[in-house]
A and B are shown apart, each in its own frame.
Chain A
Amino acid sequence: MKKRLFGVLAFVLLAGSVLAGCGGNNNGNGNGNGASATEGSATAGVQSAAPDSGDAGELKPVELTWYYPLSQLQADQAKVQEEVNKIVKEKINATVKLMPVAIGDYVQKMNTVLAAGEKFDILWTGYMLKPEELVRKGAIQPMDALLDEYAPELKADVPQVMWDGLSVDGEIYGIPNQQINGSRYGFIIQKRFADKYNLDTASIKKIADIEPFLAQIKQNEPDIIPFGVFGTSFINPQSHDDKYWVVPGLDDHFYIKTDDPTYTLYRYPEEELDNFRLASKWYKEGYIYKDAATEKMNDYLAKGQIAVDFNVTLKPGVEAEVKAKNGGNEVITVPLSDWFSNGYSATTNQSISRTAPNPERAMMLLNLVNTDKELYNLLCNGIAGVHYEKTTGDYIKALPDSRYLPNMDWVFGSVFNSYLKEGQPENVWEETKKINSDSEVNPVGAFKFNSEPVNTEIANLNAVWGEYKRGLVTGTLDFEETWPVLYGKLKEAGEEKYVAEVTKQFEQFLKDKGLKK
């Protein structure tokens, strides 16, 4: 009896100590945050005392921490950081601690760092770590005021559509690393085949026009796959053509008609389904590889076995890029559309952490990276003469066995400041800027769907699509047979509820934007 009583007592004590431990932790945390907040406002005070001084002498020296992903960590990182700090120290009297993280680990690591409330200044956000989600978690801070005060040139330089894409509830949460923002789909064709069979590229106006060429390849080149579709990328030309605009941010099966003042939503229009029909037909004819639904495209691309490929971003200089990937074969491009844009989907940006001890200085640094060509190229390419050499004009060439070659210019800042690499046309950045400013913009590109009410339905629909998509896109599954079955399953999965919710929110969006009364 006594022993048991003791056991209970001990357990209570134990549980108590565990709870106390948790409590202590929270307290400590709270204190930590409190301290950082006061620290922050203290520096803010110093800043506002001398708001418009670009003079480094009056700035207190600080260290800024910057997390960003790299596809491969670089051996000479420390050397480059040292050089970077020489510039940054001189210009804004700060030092930067560069914290590259392997790209495959980036999301997990940053989520942990953010959840732990660690103090750091800048982080890369984008495609895989969406600024919008981070805002909802309270991990990053709005930067409108900072932009106006410390980076007015940068703010003016970036097109409004990008700021819109980075705004959540009317406040800006990121600085875009400017690069191409637009799509133009079309074919990439190996030049050796185009020449051999005298392909008249001018005659190809829509997808189906390539068919005779595919037939020739099929007939005469037994080792070559005529059309490279492997189900991972989707042929989806309807995202914009002369008839339709896709509604972005949904499942890519909602469309509105171009120039339709009523903005009526279309779900699975016939024209979209025709693409699946075409895929079925091509698969039967043998233009699509027989194991396309299960194989990896890269395995065949690398050997130069794919004659025609469909691509949604035929940007300037794409020929050189593709050539490097497809076994060194020359290619030509046949665009099927004009440049268009669905708005900026926050692909690659820098954001400032909520825990940043020095947000003002972080903004100065970001401004510097995006305006100082020397600093930017140091981050992208390393040190001149050590990691790369200048050839002619703005062209550079990486030195053999370079110990600093991140090859990810878009992770650091606006690529328009970067030196040119071999194969890029000389005016590539002017062209790209022109595309960004001139491309036709989706009239409903700003629509943001709140998926919360139909999360279950979306998960179910995705599961159903996941089962059929690769089969349909590669034509492995016959469209006419599969579609009724698939559609039935989609209905069971909650298709109607999802469509109703989208329609409701879309109508609301149209009203709010004044697009429809």
Chain B
Amino acid sequence: MAVAKKFEFSKLFINLLFTVLSLVVILPFLLVIAVSLTDEKALTQNGYQFIPKSFSLDAYRYLLDAPDILFRAYGVTLTVTVVGSLAGLLLTAMTAYVISRQDYRYNRVTTFYVFFTMLFSGGLVPSYILITQYLHLKDSLWALILPILLSPFNIMVMKGFMSKIPHEIIESAKIDGAREFRIFFRIILPLSTPALATLGLLISFTYWNEWFNAMLYIDDPNKVPLQLLLVRTLNSIEFLTTNSEFTGQLGIDLASFPNSSARMAIAVLAGGPMVVIFPFFQRFFVKGLTVGSLKG
């Protein structure tokens, strides 16, 4: 009995610990949502509060007043994420598969070649020159997709996973008359679902959150992704408040900026879908990891 009681206690402790942890994670989200629903005047008077003193939808009204920009940005981000993730995942898997094959003669050299780019890169200016002056991708969605299409790190992770697939499987497939493409698509890919799910999620997050390339390469307001809209607003406010000397001299009116509640509303609209989609993905992703597909 005493043992059982002690057991209960440890359970309580664990539950408490995780309750606190979850709260730490969830509360800031809730605060963002709460602030986005608070009346701006109440915000200046009382600061950020979980339960709005006076409820208002003004922030959303302000944003949805010109919804075309927001919806276009959604469209751009979605397109880039979907196309980029699918293409990126396929290419990552293909590259990783090739360098994971023991019977590929140059596999160490190729691995080193991939690994090398993980340590050294051309840097910002050469990349910019390549994209704008050689590939002529300025103001093209490809400029958002191509630069992060293949990440050497992901290739290495994938390679690590694929090299655990027994070589005998490939050999037996060969004996059964399968060619390389068939082996790859019919045998290797299905066997790699856990790794594909994990990396797919990582890649799609990278695409969803990407804004830096957009800042450099996109000038056309119709092709601006969602995150850049958000980052721009925040950067500009940050810049103007830290350079008060400058703004004071020139008379930039900070009041013309989206106020705090509108900023939070942008955050909700930008991050919201991912928060909703993530649990769905996550189920798939955990399942993929636990099923364990090396049954043969």
Contact = CB atoms under 8 A, between A and B. Distances in A.
B102 interface: no
B119 interface: no
Contacts, number: 115
Interface string A293-326: 0001110001100000001110000000100110
Nearest to B259: A302
Interface string A337-357: 000000000011000000000
Contacts of B272: none
A29 interface: yes
Interface stretch (B78-86, B128-136, B153-161, B188-196): B128-136
Interface in B241-256: 241, 243-246, 248-256
Contacts of B132: 116, 118
A399 to B, nearest CB: 13
Contact of A298 (B109, B234, B241, B253): B241
Nearest to A107: B239
B12 interface: no
B256 to A, nearest CB: 5
B66 interface: yes
A297 B245 CA distance: 13
A325 B125 CA distance: 40
A449 B4 CA distance: 78
Give the interface size bracket for A toward B: 35 or more
B240 A75 contact: no
B215 A303 contact: no
A56 to B, nearest CB: 27
B219 interface: yes
A128 B243 contact: yes
Interface in A357-390: none
B45 interface: yes
A102 B232 contact: yes
A324 B257 CA distance: 13
A232 interface: yes
A407 B125 contact: no
Interface in B69-103: 69
A408 interface: yes
A303 B45 CA distance: 7
A34 interface: no
Provide the main secondary structure of the chain B interface: helix
A466 to B, nearest CB: 14
Contacts of B244: 232-233, 297
Contact of A75 (B66, B116, B234, B251): B66
Nearest to A410: B250
A11 B9 CA distance: 61
B239 A104 contact: yes
A99 B219 CA distance: 7
Given A7-B108, A72-B256, A407-B256, A127 B126 contact: no
B124 A112 contact: yes
Interface in B204-246: 215-216, 219, 221, 232-241, 243-246
Contacts of A117: 129
B108 A104 contact: no
Given A10-B109, A99-B219, A116-B128, A179 B133 contact: no
A321 B236 contact: no
Given A116-B125, A233-B245, A347 B250 contact: yes
A115 B257 contact: no
Contact of B221 (A29, A77, A298): A77
B264 to A, nearest CB: 17
Contacts of A78: 221
Contacts of A7: 108-109
A62 interface: no
B252 A71 contact: yes
Contacts of A29: 129
A103 interface: yes
A28 B128 CA distance: 14
A407 to B, nearest CB: 5
Interface string B114-142: 00100000001110111011100000000
B50 interface: no
Contacts of A270: none
B120 to A, nearest CB: 9
A71 B109 contact: no
B284 interface: no
B113 interface: yes
A325 B252 CA distance: 10
B44 A75 contact: no
A204 to B, nearest CB: 21
A179 B256 contact: no
Given A32-B133, A71-B236, A73-B232, A407 B219 contact: no
B168 interface: no
Given A10-B109, A347-B249, A347-B250, A104 B133 contact: no
B23 to A, nearest CB: 27
A296 B241 contact: yes
B126 A10 contact: no
B236 A102 contact: yes
A462 B36 CA distance: 39
Contact of B109 (A14, A73, A302): A14
A71 B216 contact: no
Contacts of B221: 73, 75, 77-78
Interface of A: 7, 10-11, 14, 25, 28-29, 32, 71-73, 75, 77-78, 99, 102-105, 108-109, 112-113, 115-118, 127-128, 179-180, 232-233, 296-298, 302-303, 311-313, 321, 324-325, 327, 347-348, 401, 403, 405, 407-408, 410
Across chains A and B, which 3 residue pairs bring their CB atoms closest together, nearest first? A104-B235, A102-B232, A104-B239
23 contacts: A7-B108, A14-B109, A14-B112, A71-B240, A71-B257, A72-B236, A102-B215, A103-B235, A109-B216, A112-B128, A112-B216, A115-B124, A116-B125, A118-B133, A128-B243, A180-B249, A233-B244, A233-B248, A303-B44, A321-B251, A324-B255, A325-B253, A401-B65
Interface of B: 44-45, 65-66, 68-69, 106, 108-109, 112-113, 116, 124-126, 128-130, 132-134, 215-216, 219, 221, 232-241, 243-246, 248-257
Given A112-B125, A113-B128, A298-B254, 9 more contacts: A11-B109, A14-B116, A32-B133, A71-B257, A108-B215, A128-B246, A313-B249, A327-B44, A410-B250
